[in-house]
Chain A
Amino acid sequence: MEILVLLKQTFDTEAKITVKDGHVVDDDVTLVINPYDEYAVEEALKLREAQGGAVTVVSVGTDRVEEALRRALAMGADEAVLVEAPAGADELTVAHALAEWASAKQWDIVLAGNVSVDSGAGQVALRFAEVLGLPHVAAALKLEVGDGKAVVHRDAEGDTEVLEVTLPTLVTAQQGLNEPRYPSVPGIMKAKRKTIARVTPAAPVAAATVVQSVFQAQQNRRNTMIKGSPAEQAQQLVQLLRGEAKVV
């Protein structure tokens, strides 16, 4: 079984985000595999262990992405590919860059994260499937693969929807799909010896969106102290909640 995982490197969820000159600064930030993509890697490894085959991980980005790809290799992935990011790439560009490379090979199943924790657009995986004409199921909580099809239990806003889809297909991972394994020490040592293939998109697709501005989110916390007897305080509070905050 040929399994492909689309992987994005993102900020550590605990990283402090700083905006400078209209750009997010990532110099001193710990970068990790997007947590949802890590579920996809784990699911791919479990599939391979159960059914044989190979797991390939692919990512679009700069040299720094190698670290995330090496971690996926250390977890047990067989091969890793780094597609160089075209200038000014948006989700459309990235999806096409991935699809251009992936179209050269037959995949039985493509796995990806439901969404990335940085931009949170949830676009790339589904666009990738559209470009390659693959059926796709988003937000999987459980995945069973066999007889040329996949049964996917997907998170439908808190309910679970069960779908059957024929292979090849693309499935995105929701939190709860599995518990990603640690990379092992021998895995780390083996990953060191593997070559990460480099690919440059031949015909990059221009971005369809333009970022107008990037700014640091401001949190304005205003405290209002209410005075008076408990009864007066309660009355004032209700007035404020109704009149000012408009929540009751």
Chain B
Amino acid sequence: MGLNFDLTEEQAAIAKLAREFADEVVAPGAGQRDKTGEFPLELVKQMGKLGFFGIPFSEAYGGMGGDTVSYALAVEEISRADASLGITLAAHCSIGMGPVYYFGTEEQKQKWLPAAARGESLASFGLTEPGAGSDSAGTRTTAVRAGDHYVINGSKSFITNAYYCRYIVCTAVTAPGKGHKGISALIVPNPTEGFSIGPAYEKMGLHASDTRPLYFDNVHVPAENLLGSEGEGFRQFMVTLDGGRISIGAMAVGIAQAALDAALKYAKERVQFGQSISKFQAIQFKLADMAMEVEMARMMVLKAAWLKDQGRPFTREGAMAKLFASEAATRAANQAIQIHGGSGYMEDFPVSRFWRDAKLTEIGEGTSEIQRIVIAKQLGC
């Protein structure tokens, strides 16, 4: 069959479930959680029971046997109501479970994935360090083989879901001086002696998501917790981040849609000069641009997800989708504030939250600058 934009029945059903759950259960408390920064553990449990945390994983590992398209649609809908919960879901699936799912042995998958897929516990991913982010080769955390164990020392920064994770997959240098090729990935159970989780960061947005630093002080993990072979960590994490970009793109589409919905509603209600401001072309042009960009971003995210489901390369499309969707989300939130005028600058309306939340999508899981480098490399530069 040629080009066809229809969702399958189950993709549509999962999107509908996510939409209803987002509108009825997630949205009502989102503004309040943004103020208090309270992590919605009850919502996470409820979502776990409904199967949200295992959508794109095989039933053999406790997953739902769904696809990346369904997963992206779910992340979009949840993020539309509350991007904090959206990133909790996205980080858990794409980069927390992803590395074990793609690179783990059968034993590792059976041990770590089922509880995570059911949302009974969360999974984290540790790459960023005080001295390593875009430049992963700057990793300073070390893992030294000692008999049947590795001993890990170092620290990680900005780790999503850290406090609630049962395990974290993190990178560490196992062969110093070899750059990327000396980096390996290890599964660190939580709790483990010597492994500590720092206090939550005070963030600009995404207040109800959990983000913390991690510290490793002579942390012993069994050698069987190594993911794949030594030296493969960098490549494994780059592949994982390729997939993660689809979910951050989906999250951005959700925020952009929320900004458009709020701006359109306000523009129709707000009367100035004797008519609703939606009758003025200055406002109409903003809304038209926002709607166009939401549509384009969604198409790109779903195309990347579809390519992934087909088992085809999607590095270029995933980077483009994430880059465009995240910048579109920030633009949409920015214009939504402008359309709201003074009210938009007040916290009584949700649009400033959208703007603060959207900004992260331009930074997390590869900055916009890194995405442009990835795309340029794919072009053959």
Contact = CB atoms under 8 A, between A and B. Distances in A.
A74 B13 contact: yes
A183 interface: yes
B10 A184 contact: no
A188 B65 contact: no
A247 interface: no
Nearest to A181: B50
Q: What's the dominant secondary structure at chain A's contact region?
A: helix
A185 interface: yes
Interface stretch (B27-35, B51-59, B291-299, B356-364): B51-59
B17 A183 contact: yes
Interface string B38-52: 000000000001111
B9 A185 contact: no
A70 B20 contact: no
Contact of B65 (A70, A74, A183, A189): A189
Interface of B: 9-10, 13-14, 17, 20-21, 49-52, 54-55, 59, 64-66
A182 B20 contact: yes
Contacts of B51: 184-187
Q: Which 7 A-B pairs have the closest CB atoms?
A: A185-B51, A185-B64, A188-B13, A184-B50, A192-B10, A184-B51, A186-B51
A67 interface: yes
A183 B50 CA distance: 7
Contacts of A71: 13
B9 A67 contact: yes
6 contacts: A185-B17, A185-B51, A185-B64, A185-B66, A186-B51, A192-B10
A182 B74 CA distance: 14
A85 to B, nearest CB: 21
Contacts of A74: 13
A184 B65 CA distance: 13
A183 B13 CA distance: 9
A189 B9 contact: no
Main secondary structure of the interface of B (DSSP, over half): helix
Interface of A: 67, 70-71, 74, 182-189, 191-192
A191 B51 CA distance: 14
A192 B20 CA distance: 20
Contacts of B54: 185
Contacts of B13: 70-71, 74, 183, 188, 191
Contact of A188 (B14, B21, B49, B59): B14
A184 B9 CA distance: 14
Contacts of B20: 182
Nearest to B118: A186
A92 to B, nearest CB: 32
A74 B13 CA distance: 9
Q: Max chain A CB contacts within 10 Å: which of B9, B13, B51, B54?
A: B13
A183 B9 CA distance: 14
A192 B50 contact: no
A49 B342 CA distance: 53
Contacts of B14: 185, 188
A203 B53 CA distance: 49
A185 B77 CA distance: 14
Nearest to B18: A185
Nearest to A74: B13
A192 B65 CA distance: 11
Given A67-B9, A185-B50, A185-B54, 10 more contacts: A70-B13, A185-B14, A185-B17, A185-B64, A186-B51, A188-B13, A189-B59, A189-B64, A189-B66, A192-B9
Given A70-B9, A71-B13, A192-B9, A184 B66 contact: no
A184 B21 CA distance: 11
B64 A182 contact: no
